């Protein structure tokens, strides 16, 4: 099938943790024999910031990571009729402009013969519901929600009649253990500071334990305030700035452990949705400790990571994992196994095909029912 994907940022991962998954499943769709075309705005904020921080050639190597993917950048004058010509499947991400989303919906209402899906990978459904409710999805064929709780929200609020749970996953073509890389850190954390949604949690579960245990640690990410940087450096932590997503496996390989510190909206209102870093860490074979987070969907088995309730438990867990190689190795093997069995981008590409087929079958049944109801009664 011909797949047309609209994403606010695809080649850039600057403040865009979704990029890892989006690239991975797109490449897997292509590997399964589908034609994949990705559209991203030429002036997207993620792309512009990546080049501002990394230089004009910061994104030059991305196309080589995506063989078989046709990446097209567009401006305000995008011809949607031409862009979606011949499409079987069109996916549009929720961070695209409302105007683009509306135009795609109108094309579908006017009879465009494609399956049109809306992809939500954020917490706006609970943190800014009024903002998200303004997006009209009446003409979309369904929603791809990156967690069951989010899928239920779309159905309960009447934002969509059909929704699928479609978690993120690991791109194991890039994310896998790299045993030849020397370990230089005890701990690594990759994540963006953002708007302070987890500032207190980062201090309790990351900065303070590292300082108290006097660990060698590195933090990578963007949008760190000067106050946050001062706190990190005072704890003896090295700040590495923006780390392009495809460099993360080597960074994970250079450390003994990592931690999962989810943003507050996910912990409070969207349980069951992990950050992409959980999939990444397990795929790369690095032991993981999680701050409070509820795996309500049972994505990961017991032993795949350690869960702690407070900073004191985090200190003890870090010390244990760094000292107990047998325990650490067992955790790594459990994580690698669950990723390979359930959570790769190939799995998600296959799930996407099943969702597409389901929509088509249901539409066919509706058409057939309408035709039968239109027959004369003898």
Q: How far is CA 174 from CA 24, 305, 344, in A?
A: 9, 21, 11
Q: How far is CA 245 from the centre of its chain?
A: 11
Classify 2-169+344-370 by CATH class.
alpha beta
Domains 2-169+344-370 and 185-342 fall in the same CATH topology: yes
SS3 51: helix
Secondary structure (DSSP) of 71-101: EEEE-TT--HHHHTTT-SEEEEETTS-HHHH
Output the pLDDT for position 193.
Answer: 86
Residues 58-100 have pLDDT tens digits of 999 999 999 999 999 999 889 999 999 999 999 999 999 999 9
Residue 69's H or E segment, with its range, is strand 69-74
Q: What pLDDT, on the 0 to 100 scale, is given for residue 378?
A: 38
What is the C-alpha to C-alpha distance for residues 261 and 285, in angstroms, rounded to an integer? 18
Give residue 377's pLDDT band: very low, low, confident or very high (50, 70, 90): very low
CA distances from 4 to 71, 84, 124, 316 (A): 10, 7, 24, 48
- State the Rg of the chain over Cα: 22
Banded pLDDT at 371 (limits 50, 70, 90): low
Residue 366 has a pLDDT of 60
pLDDT of residue 266: 87
183, 152, 179, 182: which is closest to 165 by C-alpha? 152
Sheet with 89-93, edge to edge strand ranges: 69-74, 35-41, 2-6, 89-93, 115-120, 142-145, 163-165
Q: Shortest CA distance to 218 belongs to which of 210, 227, 226, 230? A: 210
**Predicted pLDDT of residue 201:** 93
* Chain segment 49-64, per-residue pLDDT in tens: 999 999 999 999 999 9
**Average pLDDT estimate for 153-168:** 96
- The percent of residues in the chain predicted with pLDDT above 90, rounded, is 89
- The CATH architecture that domain 185-342 belongs to is 3-Layer(aba) Sandwich (3.40)
At 184-235, the pLDDT tens digits run 999 999 998 877 778 899 999 999 999 999 999 999 999 999 999 999 999 9
DSSP reduced 3-state for 264? helix
Where does the pLDDT of residue 10 fall: very low under 50, low under 70, confident under 90, or very high at 90 and above? very high
286, two tokens: 């690095």
Residue bearing tokens 């701050």: 291
List the domain boundaries for the chain.
2-169+344-370, 185-342
Token digits of residue 146:
């990156």
Asked if 56 contacts 94 with a C-beta cutoff of 8 angstroms, the reply is no
């Amino acid at each position: 099938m011909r797949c047309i994907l609209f994403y606010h940022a695809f080649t850039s991962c600057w403040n865009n943790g979704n990029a890892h998954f989006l690239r991975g499943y797109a490449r897997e769709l292509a590997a399964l024999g589908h034609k994949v075309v990705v559209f991203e705005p030429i002036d997207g904020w993620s792309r512009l910031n990546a080049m501002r921080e990394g230089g004009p050639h910061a994104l030059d190597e991305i196309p080589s990571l995506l063989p078989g993917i046709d990446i097209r950048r567009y401006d305000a004058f995008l011809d949607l009729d031409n862009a979606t010509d011949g499409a079987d499947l069109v996916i549009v991400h929720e961070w695209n402009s409302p105007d683009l989303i509306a135009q795609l919906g109108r094309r579908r209402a006017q009879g465009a013969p494609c399956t049109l899906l809306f992809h939500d990978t954020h917490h706006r459904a609970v943190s800014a519901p009024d903002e998200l409710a303004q997006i009209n999805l009446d003409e979309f064929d369904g929603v791809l929600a990156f967690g069951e709780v989010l899928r239920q929200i779309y159905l309960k609020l009447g934002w969509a009649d059909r929704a699928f749970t479609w978690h993120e996953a690991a791109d194991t073509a890039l994310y896998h253990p790299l045993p030849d890389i020397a370990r230089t850190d005890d701990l690594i954390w990759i994540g963006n500071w953002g708007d302070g949604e987890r500032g207190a949690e980062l201090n309790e579960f990351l900065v303070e334990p590292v300082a108290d245990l006097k660990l060698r640690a590195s933090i990578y990410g963007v949008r760190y305030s000067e106050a946050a940087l001062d706190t990190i450096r005072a704890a003896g932590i090295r700040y590495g700035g923006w780390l392009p997503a495809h460099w993360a496996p080597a960074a994970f390989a250079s450390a003994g452990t990592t931690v999962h510190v989810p943003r507050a909206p996910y912990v409070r209102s969207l349980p069951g949705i992990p950050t992409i870093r959980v999939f990444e860490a397990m795929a790369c074979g690095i032991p993981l400790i999680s701050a409070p987070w509820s795996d309500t969907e049972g994505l990961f088995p017991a032993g795949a990571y350690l869960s702690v309730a407070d900073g004191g438990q985090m200190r003890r867990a870090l010390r244990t994992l760094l000292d107990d190689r047998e325990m650490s190795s067992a955790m790594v093997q459990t994580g690698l196994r669950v990723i390979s069995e359930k959570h790769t981008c190939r799995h998600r590409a296959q799930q996407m095909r099943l969702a597409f087929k389901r929509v088509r079958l249901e539409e066919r049944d509706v058409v057939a029912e309408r035709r039968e109801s239109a027959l004369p009664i003898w």
